[in-house]
Chains A and B, each alone.
Chain A
């Protein structure tokens, strides 16, 4: 087992756990967190893919992709959380 294989499999496992959570979880917040986990797994995989045996330097392009992915994910999470908050407020007023 080379290090990149170990890290790669870890990335796939993290993505898989997130995917199961995103599809199966009932709680809204839990599903957002599961999707976050997915994104961590995906980013992990790409960073591992860019790794090169030491004297060589890693490929910077996948790193750039991952950074953009993180930025997109932050804004998407913010929107999802805002929607969840709004829904909870509406549900609270309905029940009253």
Chain B
């Protein structure tokens, strides 16, 4: 049943100036040591995280060698005991994405967590055809 719509839909571009798209400096969440932290980037604990936990358990108060571990950092390390994405950590800890990125990149630079690659290789460009085919067949199986 295709009756002509009663109301006219507004036509895009009819009454306004063209869109301005801002040039954007692509820091792309890359850390100092080249880790790419997109929202869907997986991170996980490394053996190095044991050091944080051990120091924490000993409740060391010495102001000497050991820097105090921020509660947020400890919480991130705890979460990273299982594979997590950057967005998931931000959501579960209710912290802004940008803050989580900074803390994660520090932890990654210190070797305390491991940053895994995403479906776009080095985090640039687009997923390739092979990946898209896999996503298609995965969706068809749902």
A and B part of one assembly? no
Chain B interface (Cβ < 8 Å from any Cβ of A): none
Chain A interface (Cβ < 8 Å from any Cβ of B): none
